[in-house]
Chain A
């Protein structure tokens, strides 16, 4: 089956006074219906700009310099990046929705939850206010907000953080989109609330069979959510594989080291294996492997040219001249 969303060779650059920040370079990804693709990366790795580029929410001085975003949800192939702006408003929120990181700031403080919910419904569906209001109540019930009828009249500040994120999810899903983009949706929440929200999102995703792009820096969170994982570093995709492969058979030295650098709740560890050095600066980066300066498996070649993203094993892509092939038998996570 054709993926519902394909991103091809997407590059988004920011033209700053200090120079060109190449935030996203040559990113390719595919998302199928009822599939969760996770994008993992650190600050500045380009994961967030990638999904905002898909939504065309890139503002000056940023610019999508190349690539295509093919959407197949409306019975045809459409390149989102070449649609006129007013056509775009019928994609956003209706076909592709997005949930932001901080629920405290995603809602307009001056309007009631009901207002912000119904305006979206009226915008995209051919219904009157009253029907929209009822659909809104249904949505709030879906995201398990108690006393939904009453809560429609509440303002965001009357909600707790978790409740607000539920409301945001309700808005995002109110028009039954085929793709949901979640940009670190639980990072700002407390851990017990995070668990609630992740649970909810997963449930709803299954129910609506939505394709979901899930962005996070937290390897623990992604482990529970994603079917497929894209690891980004320095504005490029480093490794793309199924969740199991990423966690048990990481081939890229970066992924490999990252998994050893994080503490685990379920184990007593003596030491964390730190990755030396600093994350790269993003201005005027040369076309070489961005991880090379911190990589212990670095070859001479690594600082001279950029490795291609190659399919080393079936459905397992790695951008590296010297992948960690010898640890094949899942040495990454020592099993006890």
Chain B
């Protein structure tokens, strides 16, 4: 088997909490990402799912070194980038691009689409001359389904879907190998979402891209990803092959998530047995003892309150951090 392109090991990101009126004092940490490990292989789509505050976005941002990790390793193509300085990071930055949730916020409103596309080409020295950059920009626009005459327009003249296409074109412009997709369609209408998702699928095929896909939409995750990691309060609770996990979820939280996601089919909806969780996600500042999920878990045992469960291997492509595995003897 080939080497993974991304290997994250025991990644941690803590944010200090300060308090005080005149003198600020550190009173604790928000453990946004706590001991997260996974591997991603080439041409794979790896999904990070979970509810808001679970740490999926922080994980991605730390991997991109947009924020510095507190501890752990981030290996990209076999090299640990967790402590590289700006300069040494640059080639990795080029290889790793990101498409954000909100296309409006990520495009400079004062620059034309042409300028937005040409700038990174010249900065990363993908091309040598302005003419080449211009030609390449037009090529990119075509690739994402826009027209050459769009070059001279400004972002506000485009619809949401078109803006996201521009963001994709910009990400693709520097020939990346890994693209982080941070809820890339959640601001889009349903009728446009499919266009964008199909575009991602097409480029992955044609350009051998590896995707890190961050989403709370499990239907979308199922459709697009190969592997999925379910996060809860900064930790991965279940990880593995998408189909296996969606067909046979083991962690009660994964189960709850799946059962809570609506299905556009009234008959199925009416027959479904829902696991309705009580309460909401606890604060990441004061996480429960033992398994973080135990206060909401319908299957909790005494053990769950005391000790955080290890990762158990369910199958070759499926791991879960829950004592249920032992009980069921999988």
Chain A interfacial positions (CB closer than 8 Å to B): 42-43, 160-163, 190-196, 198-199, 217-224, 243-244, 247, 257-259, 261-266, 268-269, 271-276, 278-279, 294, 333
Contacts and interface: CB of A to CB of B under 8 A. Distances in A.
Nearest to B256: A192
Given A160-B280, A261-B191, A279 B159 contact: yes
Nearest to A245: B266
Interface stretch (B99-107, B120-128, B192-200): B192-200
A194 B268 CA distance: 18
Interface in B202-223: 216-220, 222-223
Interface in B249-276: 256-270, 274, 276
26 contacts: A160-B281, A190-B51, A190-B216, A190-B281, A191-B51, A191-B216, A192-B51, A192-B260, A192-B277, A194-B262, A195-B259, A218-B190, A219-B190, A220-B263, A223-B269, A243-B266, A247-B264, A261-B191, A261-B193, A262-B190, A265-B218, A266-B263, A269-B223, A272-B223, A275-B191, A279-B192
B265 A199 contact: no
Contacts of A268: 222, 243
Nearest to A333: B265
B10 interface: no
Q: Which 5 A-B pairs have the closest CB atoms?
A: A220-B262, A195-B260, A263-B223, A190-B51, A274-B194
B216 A272 contact: no
A263 B224 CA distance: 9
B195 A220 contact: no
- Interface SS of chain B: helix
B197 A272 contact: yes
Give the bracket for the number of chain B residues in contact with chain A. Answer: 35 or more
A224 B264 CA distance: 8
A173 to B, nearest CB: 20
A262 B223 CA distance: 10
Contacts of B262: 194, 198, 218, 220-221, 223-224
A223 B219 CA distance: 15
Contacts of A162: 280
A223 B266 contact: yes
A193 B280 contact: yes
B302 interface: no
Nearest to B278: A196
Interface string B176-202: 000000000000011111110110000
A262 B264 contact: yes
Contacts of A221: 262
A223 B264 contact: yes
Contacts of A265: 218-219, 222, 246, 258, 261, 263
B161 interface: yes
Nearest to A191: B260
Contacts of A276: 195
A275 B267 CA distance: 25
Given A195-B277, A272-B198, 20 more contacts: A42-B189, A161-B280, A192-B277, A194-B260, A198-B262, A199-B274, A217-B189, A218-B262, A219-B190, A223-B264, A223-B266, A224-B262, A244-B266, A247-B266, A261-B191, A264-B264, A266-B265, A272-B223, A278-B159, A278-B192
